[in-house]
């Protein structure tokens, strides 16, 4: 009897030999990256090493100077600041870019998923920082993206709100299964959320960790801190 057919794991992002420079200065130099469907990848690296530059290139926001990127045309992006339109109510902010028919209902469902289902007609100015980021998350997920790009989305939140957001993001990502790339400065956040953690250095991926292996989180934390040149402290959570 034939063995069951096993398809190779499908990648949602595939980058080969990426080069990105600003005015002749190369920030990304021959970078390779794959993200599989439903995979949650975190990207760490020293300030200025090119994390946001990579994310923008994946989002198709910038031209590249070399190499090849294969990624969905319209990935959803969540930035550190919520970027909500102050003159639109919450539901319209979430519905932005949806076809008009059924847009309000879809926005309502997405806002309910992030715990703001009763605030459809409220305004961005009435939200706390954490609530505004939840709306930004709803706006990203309502598009049902194959790829979700996070650029330090929780960095401006207080520690408790950040931990609550981690729980919510885990739940939503498990349900919707987009490929995720999370740019973060927070080693503990990367360990809490990602199945795979990449460290960026000198314009390329310098190290890879899989914190979900049994017994791996503590070792991964120490290795990551050493790679990032930071003295270890107690885990934040």
Binding-site ranges for ligand ATP (CB under 6 A): 22, 27, 45, 47-53
Between residues 113 and 152, which has the closer beta carbon with respect to ligand ATP? 152
With a CB cutoff of 8 Å and minimum separation 6, the contacts of 34 are 11, 13, 14, 15
Between residues 27 and 64, which has the closer beta carbon with respect to ligand ATP? 27
Between residues 22 and 171, which has the closer beta carbon with respect to ligand ATP? 22
CB of 180 to ligand ATP, least distance (A): 17
- Report the C-alpha gap between 28 and 204 in whole angstroms: 6
Alpha helix segments (H runs only) across the chain: 51-58, 90-95, 103-113, 129-141, 159-176, 187-193, 216-227
CB of 53 to ligand ATP, least distance (A): 3
- Report the C-alpha gap between 131 and 39 in whole angstroms: 26
Between residues 45 and 178, which has the closer beta carbon with respect to ligand ATP? 45
C-beta pairs of 225-233 under 8 Å, 24+ apart in sequence: 225/187, 227/199, 227/201, 228/44, 228/45, 228/46, 228/187, 228/199, 229/46, 230/187
CB of 48 to ligand ATP, least distance (A): 4
Which helix (DSSP H) or strand (DSSP E) does residue 20 occupy?
strand 11-22
Between residues 53 and 133, which has the closer beta carbon with respect to ligand ATP? 53
CB of 29 to ligand ATP, least distance (A): 12
CB of 10 to ligand ATP, least distance (A): 28
């Amino acid at each position: 009897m034939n063995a069951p057919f096993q398809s190779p794991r499908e990648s949602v992002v595939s980058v080969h030999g990426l080069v990105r420079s600003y005015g002749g200065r190369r920030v990304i130099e021959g970078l390779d990256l794959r993200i599989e469907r439903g995979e949650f990848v975190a990207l760490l690296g020293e300030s200025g090493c090119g994390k946001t530059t990579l994310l923008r290139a994946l989002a198709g926001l910038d031209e590249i100077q070399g190499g090849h990127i294969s990624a969905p045309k319209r990935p959803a992006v969540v930035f550190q600041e919520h970027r909500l339109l102050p003159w639109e109510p919450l539901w319209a902010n979430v519905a932005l870019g949806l076809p008009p028919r059924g847009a309000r209902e879809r926005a309502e469902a997405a806002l309910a998923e992030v715990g703001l289902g009763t605030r459809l007609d409220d305004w961005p100015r009435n939200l706390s920082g954490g609530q505004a980021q939840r709306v930004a998350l709803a706006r990203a997920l309502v598009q049902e993206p194959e790829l979700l790009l996070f650029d330090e989305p929780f960095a401006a939140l207080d520690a408790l709100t950040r931990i609550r957001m981690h729980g919510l993001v885990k739940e939503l990502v498990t349900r919707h299964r987009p490929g995720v790339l999370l740019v973060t400065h927070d080693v503990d956040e990367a360990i809490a959320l990602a199945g795979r953690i990449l460290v960026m250095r000198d314009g390329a991926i310098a190290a890879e960790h899989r914190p979900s292996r049994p017994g791996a989180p503590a070792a991964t934390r120490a290795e990551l801190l050493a790679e990032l040149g930071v003295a270890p402290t107690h885990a934040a959570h």
